[in-house]
Amino acid sequence: MATQILPASAETTDTFPINGTDFIEFYVGNAKQASVFYRTAFGFQLIGYRGPETGTRDRASYVLEQGKVRLVLTTAMRPDSPVAAHVHAHGDGVHDIALWVDDARDAFAKAVERGARPALEPTVQRDADGEVVIAGIHTYGETIHSLVERRGYRGPFLPGFVPAASPYAPAPVGLEYVDHCVGNVELGAMNRWVAFYEHVLGFRNLISFDDKTISTEYSALMSKVVSNGNGRIKFPLNEPAEGRKKSQIDEYLDFYGGPGVQHIAIATDDIIRTVTALRDRGVEFLRVPATYYDSVTDRVGRIDEDLAPLRDLGILVDRDDEGYLLQIFTKPIEDRPTLFFEIIQRKGAKSFGAGNFKALFEAIEREQALRGNL
Ligand code: FE2
Q: What is the pTM of this model?
A: 0.95
- What pLDDT sits at residue 245? 77
How far apart, in whole angstroms, are the C-alpha atoms of residue 50 and residue 23? 15
Tell me the CA–centroid distance for residue 360 and ligand 1, in Å. Answer: 11
Q: What is the distance between the alpha carbons of residues 238 and 223, in angstroms, rounded to a whole number?
A: 4
Rounded CA separation 220/234 (Å): 22
pLDDT band at 61 (very low <50, low <70, confident <90, very high): very high
Residue 264 alpha carbon to ligand 1 centre in Å: 7
Task: Return the closest-CA partner of residue 110 out of 19, 16, 185, 186.
Answer: 16
How many whole angstroms from 342 Cα to the centroid of ligand 1?
A: 6
Give the three-state DSSP class for 199: helix
Domains of the chain: residue spans and CATH: 18-163 (3.10.180.10), 174-371 (3.10.180.10)
Read off the pLDDT of each residue in 47-75 and give the average, rounded to a whole number. Answer: 97
Q: Edge-to-edge strand order for the sheet containing 93-101?
A: 118-127, 130-138, 144-149, 93-101, 18-27, 69-76, 59-66, 45-50, 162-163
Q: What percent of the chain has pLDDT over 90?
A: 80
What confidence tens digit (pLDDT) does each residue in 204-243 have? 998 898 877 777 877 788 999 999 999 999 999 999 988 7
Expressed in angstroms and rounded, the spacing between residue 127 Cα and the centre of ligand 1 is: 37
> Residue 2 pLDDT > 90, yes or no?
no
In this structure, the strands spanning 340-347 and 18-27 are unpaired
Dump pLDDT digits (tens) for 307-346: 999 999 999 999 999 999 999 999 999 999 999 999 999 9
Backbone angles phi, psi at 203, to 5 degrees: -70, 165
Residue 184 C-alpha to ligand 1 middle, in angstroms?
12
